[in-house]
Amino acid sequence: MNQSIVHIAVVVRDYDEALDFYLNKLDFVLVEDTYLPEQDKRWVVVSPPGSAGTTLLLARASKPEQLPFIGNQAGGRVFLFLNTDDFWRDYYRMIARGITFIRPPKEEGYGVVAVFEDLYGNLWDLIQLKKEHSIAKRSGKSNRSRI
């Protein structure tokens, strides 16, 4: 059997402000932005640079009951994990672009990690896994620098 998770939906307030954040602050790539007139919404998909895996579907809250989930998709826990091949390059670039880190960088047994907020307050780990970590091995990609 061969399956994969294709998209993870992130509830956003506005497509364009979310695109500005993901494309200009995190350097994500726009995969698709298609207007769906029958539903009066857009299908907006972004991806981290160099990634061929799971993408983010930026889903505008379209009902009042969806609004409370903007910025709180994981109930205050870290929601998404952004793995990088160069933690310090990305950490300093993100700080320079105004990204708020709520937990400073820390060396862990699996690699180096810091927690940041997206534009709505969802928590993310910026992480560089050690190349011997099971996830790094599974992806077939090793990190450039050894932690």
Q: Tens of pLDDT along 79-97?
A: 999 999 999 999 999 999 9
Give Cβ neighbours of residue 19 (< 8 Å, ≥ 6 apart): 30, 33, 44, 46, 58
Instruction: Determine the pLDDT at residue 145.
Output: 45
Q: Which residues of 113-130 are buried (b: 16+ CB within 10 A; e: fewer)?
A: bbbbebbbebbbbbbbbb
Domain range annotation of the chain: 1-70, 71-147
Class (C level, CATH) for 1-70: alpha beta
Q: Tens of pLDDT along 9-31?
A: 999 999 999 999 999 999 999 99
pLDDT band for 78, please (50, 70, 90 cuts).
very high
Question: How far is Cα 73 from Cα 136, in angstroms, rounded to an integer?
Answer: 26
Cα–chain center distance at 68 = 20
Which pair of structure tokens corresponds to residue 97? Answer: 């672009």
Q: Tens of pLDDT along 111-130?
A: 999 999 999 999 999 999 99
Fold of 71-147: 2,3-Dihydroxybiphenyl 1,2-Dioxygenase; domain 1 (3.10.180)
Query: Nearest Cα to 74, choosing from 8, 2, 16, 4?
Result: 8
Q: Tens of pLDDT along 30-39?
A: 999 999 999 9
Q: Do domains 1-70 and 71-147 have the same CATH topology?
A: yes
Which pair of structure tokens corresponds to residue 59? Answer: 């889903």
For all residues of the chain together, what is the average pLDDT? 92
Tell me the average pLDDT across 26-53.
Answer: 96
